[in-house]
Amino acid sequence: MEVISVAGVSKSFGHLPVLQGISFTVAQGEVVAIIGPSGSGKSTLLRAITHLELIDQGSITLAGSVMVKDGVYAPASVLRRVCLKVGLVFQNFNLFPHFSVLRNITEAQVHVLHRTKGAAEARARNLLEKMGLSEKADAYPYALSGGQQQRVSIARALALDPEVLFFDEPTSALDPELTGEILMVIRALAAEKMTMVIVTHEMAFARDVADRVLFMDGGVFIEEGPAEDLIDHPRQERTRAFLKRVRGTG
């Protein structure tokens, strides 16, 4: 079953084309990694699918609900429902600094899903335990390490029970020693068959965790394939050149 269907999506900022006829699908339980150089359109694609950017052309369907078809968006009531099907974890955490960790995770549950405060807190505490942060419920973001803040961000996204989770460079704002704890969380979610799309520069991680890798450059997909095949044996010269640069060889 397809959870994500993107067809012919294009987006320009002024006269600069950023996405040029992008098409791909993601099946339920699949983990897809999107790799490519900075400025290739990866983050814009994620923002378009999660309705943080409007597209110029194309169609996007999420979990069976049409968000936009041939460049025409669904009514606002439908969009609200569709957007609840997805969660997005940003590279810079985006936690509310004046809220405790617990409130960061419960706020949207109460105001968006209309859960009771008790039910929202129970869900939040369960997720904090899963993230290894049970003792941080009453802490504020400034008192947490970058890795801990990112784990809270993941818990906040999961609290709304999305059908698919998007990650936009989830480790890029972290020191190298903190990257591992975030990758471990994502690996655990992959083992639980959470549908995920991950924009990442961590090639070894993409190879080990993703089912499929898409290489993006210049607003188009240059190559895609099973993760191990594409990372270890890329077919296209542009893909090979990118991977050599990332690995610091050649």
Separation CA 187–CA 209 (nearest Å): 6
182-204 per-position pLDDT tens digit: 888 999 999 999 999 999 988 98
What's the length of the chain?
250
106-137 per-position pLDDT tens digit: 999 999 999 999 999 999 999 999 999 999 99
Separation CA 137–CA 104 (nearest Å): 10
Q: Is the pLDDT of residue 159 over 90?
A: yes
Average confidence (pLDDT) over 49-58: 96
- Answer yes or no: are the C-beta atoms of 100 and 139 closer than 8 Å: yes
- Res. 73 pLDDT band, cuts 50 70 90: very high
75-88 per-position pLDDT tens digit: 999 999 999 999 99
Separation CA 190–CA 179 (nearest Å): 17
Average confidence (pLDDT) over 79-105: 93
Range of weakest confidence among 5-19, 80-94, 131-145, 148-162: 80-94
- Answer yes or no: are the C-beta atoms of 70 and 10 closer than 8 Å: no
Separation CA 84–CA 164 (nearest Å): 10
Q: Is the pLDDT of residue 91 over 50?
A: yes
Tell if the pTM clears 0.85, that is, is over it. Answer: yes
Give the pLDDT score at 250: 42
